Amino acid sequence: MSGFGQDDGFYSGGYDNQNQNQDISYGQSGYAQGQDPQFGQFDYNQQGYGVDSSYGQSSGQPGYNPSILTPDQSAFAAPPTGDNYEDEPPLMEELGINFDHIVQKTLAVLNPLKQTDHTIMQDTDLAGPLVFCLAFGGFLMLSGKLHFGYIYGIGVVGCLAMYALLNLMSMTGVSSGCIISVLGYCLLPMVILSFSSIVFSLQGLLGIILTSVTVMWCSVSASKLFVSALEMHQQQLLVAYPCCLVYAVFALLTVF
C-alpha cells in the first residue's frame, strides 16, 4: 500500500510539474508569438515561420526562400517578361501592309522622272490601289457622277489586258498582283483630276489640257514601274501605249 501511495504521489507530482512547465515547453518549441490559454507562448521566428521581407507578409511555409527555387519552380514563380516576342515582325507586315513601300511607290508615281528601285515592286500590296480607287470614285460622286461599277469593270479589263500583253513581251513573266499594284498606284494623278472636277468643269480648254497631262502622267509612271520591275528598259514606249489607253478611259469617266 505504501508503495502504491508513493507511485500515486510520484504521478501526481509529475503531472503538476508538467502543468507548471507547460508554458516553458511550448515556448521553446517556437510556433508563435503571443499568449494562448491552452498552449502558452509561441514563437514562429525560432522555427522558420517568420515574415518574408520580400513579400511583406507571412509566407506560410517553413524555411521558404525564393532565391533557392529550382528551375521548374522558378518558371512558375515569376510572370513571363515577353522577350520571346521581340523578334517577331510587326502586325502590319504580317498582314502584307508595308508603309515604307507604300510611300516609296507613291513618290515614284508623283515623280515619273525619278529612277525607282525594282525591289519595291516585289511587294505587290493592294492597300494603296484600293484606297486610290475608292478616292477616285468618291470624288466623282461628289461631282455628281456615280461610277463605281464602271471603275471596277474598266480596272478588271485593263488589268487582264496588261497581264496578257506583258507576259508576251517580257522574258521573265509578270504576276497579276504586280499588274494590279502598278495600275492602281498610277491612278493617283487621275484622283487629283477627279478632285479638280469638283471645283471647276473639265469640258473647257483648261479641262482638256489638264486631262491630257494627267493621262500622260499616269502612262509614263506606269510604264516606268513596269520596265523597272521586269527589266524591259528598252521597251518603255511600247508599254506606255496600252497604259495610255487604259487611263484615257478613266479620264473620259472623269470629264463626262
Does some domain include residue 106?
yes
Q: How far apart are CA 256 and CA 246, in angstroms?
A: 16
Q: pTM (2 decimals)?
A: 0.63
Asked if residue 245 and residue 118 are part of one domain, the reply reads: yes
Does some domain include residue 86?
no
Asked if residue 220 and residue 154 are part of one domain, the reply reads: yes
pLDDT, mean over the chain? 74
Asked if residue 42 and residue 133 are part of one domain, the reply reads: no
- β-partners of residue 51 are 58
Does some domain include residue 59?
no
Query: Contact at 8 Å (CB) between 237 and 226?
Result: no
Which range (20-24, 98-102, 139-143, 198-202) has the least confidence? 20-24
Burial of 197 (0-12, 13-18, 19+ CB in 10 A): buried
**Among candidate residues 138, 239, 107, the one with its CA nearest the CA of residue 179:** 239
**77 or 141, which is more confident:** 141
Does some domain include residue 228?
yes
Whether residue 158 is predicted with pLDDT greater than 90 in this model: the reply is: yes
Sign of the dihedral through C-alpha 11, 15, 21, 27: positive
- Predicted local distance difference test score (pLDDT) of residue 203: 87
Q: Calculate the dihedral angle through the C-alpha atoms of 17, 21, 26, 32, rounding to the nearest 10 degrees.
A: 140
Q: What is the mean pLDDT of residues 128-139?
A: 93
Asked if residue 119 and residue 246 are part of one domain, the reply reads: yes
Range of the domain at 36: 24-54
- Predicted local distance difference test score (pLDDT) of residue 171: 82
Q: How far apart are CA 232 and CA 169, in angstroms?
A: 9
Query: Contact at 8 Å (CB) between 250 and 187?
Result: yes
Q: How far apart are CA 119 and CA 98, in angstroms?
A: 13
When divided into structural domains, the chain yields a total of 2
